[in-house]
Amino acid sequence: MKHSFTQLGLMEPLLRAIREQGYDTPTSIQSQAIPLLLKGRDLLGIAQTGTGKTAAFALPILDYLARDPMPRVARKPSALVLTPTRELAVQIADSFGAYGRHVDIRYAAVFGGVSQVPQVKALRRGLDVLVATPGRLIDLMQQGQVDLSAVEVFVLDEADRMLDMGFLPAVRKVLQTLPQKRQSLLFSATMPDNIVELAASILHKPVRVEVTPPATTVERIDQCVLHVDKKDKRELLAEVLRNPALERVLVFTRTKHGADRVSKHLRQVGESADAIHGDKSQGARQRALEAFRRGKVKVLVATDIAARGIDVADITHVVNFDLPNEPESYVHRIGRTARAGRGGVAISFCSPDERRHLQAIERETRSKVRVVDDHGFVSKQPVEPVRSKNPAGDRQWKKRQHRRRGRSAAAASA
């Protein structure tokens, strides 16, 4: 394992940019992947957002392109990064900008939901690195605005989400137009069979790099749960936010409406808050995210889908305003506060009907979430017993109990 960036073999202008970013030591995926990628190997990276995987692929790509510069040709990028969401596309492009600030590399991001005019302009000017979401990329390819025949390095980012979101046909279409001779990288947080197959069809003798599973992220996070009735959640959130330790807070709600209602209520009580979700325009989402990233907005309220790929450093607290019914979503959500090895705090509100979600989460993470009960809105409903998801089973149980009581009463009187 390499313990400093200077040992990885990257060129000096990149090392300088890394220092300016404030990174001291490479993360595990960076120290494992970068030397191999610099040698031109294909890579299967099993890693999720938060592990430093963006720099793990962006740095070797920048090194490769900047070491041996070629004239730029309009519409023909040399490197292509495919990623599932707009937010990720913007973040990845920003990373290329940050790490590549001392080399002469041009990059752009193309994604849907916004005008394609500036994107087409960037393509026409000529660029080295193109970061794209599949839908917009296919559109632009069909219009003849982009030509992938000169791609030398191809990255498929978040492959599992890509498939979850139904992008497999688009990914295949893109693959068909890439040159055979190229370096390919595939990143995925999980490796279900369909990803194994996809990887086999894309990668040539890849090295496999796997980094720590989410459980270790969970261990670093201070988690607690507050039992509260549904109707009191907004007031409770306002109370919790009065603690000055909550500096940059990501709040999760189950629905888009919920996200709007919560952020509106917070503004009414004087907090700086905004909401992002799929019903908002791309521009509005980006503005909200940017304000949050810069610390202008303290609380960002989001749904799971909208929060996918949000990568904001220094989120001090994640609040689960609603508990997710999928334990994996819980792990994903709270992982936002423990980026790149830092710790964080996750606060969950649990209404009586969400207690079974809490149980599922505790089973999945094999830990008990600490209960905080010194707040002003403690639910009066007893914490136990948890109601069953199976009312038919409950009825059967009651019937049996009734019969049993009858039997024992009969036995007692005999």
- State yes or no: residue 51 binds ligand AMP (CB under 6 A): yes
Choose which of 49, 133, 145, 351 interacts with ligand AMP (CB under 6 A): 49
What are the angstrom distances between the C-alpha of 165 and each of 201, 305, 308, 337? Answer: 20, 10, 12, 25
50 binds ligand AMP (CB under 6 A): yes
Q: Does 26 bind ligand AMP (CB under 6 A)?
A: yes
Residue 234, interface with ligand AMP (CB under 6 A)? no
Strand partners, 34: none
Q: Which residues neighbour 33 within 8 Å (Cβ) at sequence distance 6 or greater?
A: 43, 45, 56, 57, 60, 207, 209
Any contact of residue 298 with ligand AMP (CB under 6 A)? Answer: no
Helix, strand, or coil (residue 103): coil
> Cα(145)–Cα(283) distance, rounded to whole angstroms?
23
Nearest distance from residue 30's CB to ligand AMP, in Å? 6
In whole angstroms, what is the distance from residue 173 CA to residue 1 CA? 38
Distance CA 325, CA 145 (A): 43
The nearer residue to ligand AMP, 340 or 409, going by C-beta atoms, is: 340
Q: Which is nearer to ligand AMP, 19 or 125 (CB)?
A: 19
CB closer to ligand AMP out of 49 and 348: 49
Query: Strand pairing partners for 221?
Result: 344
> Which of 23, 139, 232, 286 forms a contact with ligand AMP (CB under 6 A)?
23
By beta carbon distance, the residue nearest ligand AMP is 54
What element of type H or E holds 404?
helix 391-413
Total of residues contacting ligand AMP (CB under 6 A): 15
Nearer to ligand AMP by Cβ, of 33 and 350: the residue is 33
What residues from 313 to 372 belong to the interface with ligand AMP (CB under 6 A)? 313, 339-340
The closest alpha carbon to 316, from 344, 335, 284, 280, belongs to 344
Q: Restricting to residues 53-72, name those near ligand AMP by CB under 6 A.
A: 53-55
Residues that bind ligand AMP (CB under 6 A): 23, 26-27, 30, 49-55, 311, 313, 339-340
